Amino acid sequence: MPARFTPDDVDRIAELARLALASEERALFTRQLADILAYAEQVQDVNTSGIPPTSHACASAESLRDDMERPCLSPDEALAAAPDADRVAGLFKVPRVLGG
């Protein structure tokens, strides 16, 4: 395990993610994250000179289909189908997902 990744690092990450970890989980995640970083270092050491860069894993000059203009719902139609929409403001109301 690389010395630069410590259980204190796991504690900081867990705090950011608002996770409570048992001591066994802390030790396990320390080892696993150190292994992931060690593997990333191995990948960085691979000689890629002479390999042209790509912007996509499946580089292709062709698109899958032609873009075609199609009719869509008007804002009023979309809001009419939404439960608890604010039609005057033109907004959908959704449940709060973040506390606060």
CA–CA separation, 19 and 28 (whole Å): 14
Q: Please give the CATH topology (third level) of the domain spanning 7-44.
A: Histone, subunit A (1.10.20)
Q: What is the pLDDT of residues 29-50, one digit of tens each?
A: 999 999 999 999 999 999 989 8
With a pLDDT cut of 70, the percent of the chain lying above it is 86
Domain ranges of the chain: 7-44
Q: How far is CA 1 from the centre of its chain?
A: 26
**Higher per-residue pLDDT: 58 or 16:** 16
Q: Which residue(s) pair with 86 in the sheet? A: 91
- Is the pTM higher than 0.95? The answer reads no
Label residue 2 by pLDDT band (50, 70, 90): very low
